[in-house]
């Protein structure tokens, strides 16, 4: 009977993981192309958000690091709470990121030469992995709440460095483009 219940729960979670893994990047891509001011809405550009959401990315990296340390020290409840906090930070980043891009004109990177190649390499890998990380985080999280710790741990070894890369490169991208923001 337990296997039937676990299978049903897994099917439900799998469906939501697929839906969210597709819906989030599609929604972000669609909303990224919407500029409320150009559509005639009287909204102020939210130019103050980039340093805030870059800081949130930095905090996410720190929280991820602390969560891994916690589990290695056997502090499972602390690990669980830190991981929930990291997910919350990522969601708040995403909301602010979309809000900024819906109210502000795009900022072009002004660097030239080798620095522009470095910037675009970091930016492109950051964007690609930020899409790829969504199902990894969701599946890893579901395995933990389902108490399937061996499979959780196995996938977390992949999820953690990917998520850490996305968090850290988010800060780097901000630092590299921030001199070109028009406030």
What is residue 104's predicted lDDT score, i.e. its pLDDT? Answer: 87
Return d(Cα 155, Cα 137) in angstroms, integer. Answer: 9
Return d(Cα 136, Cα 148) in angstroms, integer. Answer: 15
What is residue 150's predicted lDDT score, i.e. its pLDDT? Answer: 93
CATH classification (class only), 2-180:
mainly alpha
What is residue 139's predicted lDDT score, i.e. its pLDDT? Answer: 94
What is residue 15's predicted lDDT score, i.e. its pLDDT? Answer: 84
What is residue 55's predicted lDDT score, i.e. its pLDDT? Answer: 97
Q: Is 34 helix (H, G, I), strand (E, B) or coil?
A: coil
What is residue 122's predicted lDDT score, i.e. its pLDDT? Answer: 98
What is residue 9's predicted lDDT score, i.e. its pLDDT? Answer: 64
Return d(Cα 127, Cα 183) in angstroms, integer. Answer: 24
Q: Splitting the chain (183 residues) into consecutive groups of 10 residues, what average pLDDT does each group show?
A: 55 84 88 78 85 97 98 97 97 94 89 96 97 96 91 96 98 96 74
Domain positions in the chain are 2-180
What is residue 126's predicted lDDT score, i.e. its pLDDT? Answer: 97
**pTM higher than 0.85 for the full model?**
yes
- State the DSSP code for 105: -
């Amino acid at each position: 009977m337990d296997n039937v219940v676990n299978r049903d729960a897994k099917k439900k979670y799998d469906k939501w993981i697929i839906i969210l893994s597709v819906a989030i990047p599609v929604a972000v891509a669609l909303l990224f192309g919407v500029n409320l001011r150009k559509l005639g809405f009287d909204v102020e550009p939210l130019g103050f958000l980039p340093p805030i959401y870059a800081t949130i990315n930095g905090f996410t990296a720190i929280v991820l690091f602390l969560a891994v340390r916690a589990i290695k020290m056997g502090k499972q409840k602390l690990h669980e709470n830190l991981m929930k906090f990291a997910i919350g930070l990522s969601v708040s980043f995403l909301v602010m990121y979309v809000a900024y891009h819906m109210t502000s004109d795009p900022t072009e990177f002004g660097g030239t030469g080798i620095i522009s190649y470095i910037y675009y390499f970091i930016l492109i890998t950051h964007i690609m992995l930020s899409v790829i990380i969504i199902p990894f985080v969701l599946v890893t999280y579901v395995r933990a709440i389902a108490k399937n710790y061996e499979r959780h741990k196995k996938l977390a070894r992949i999820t953690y460095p990917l998520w850490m890369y996305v968090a850290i490169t988010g800060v780097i991208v901000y630092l590299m483009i921030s001199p070109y923001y028009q406030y």
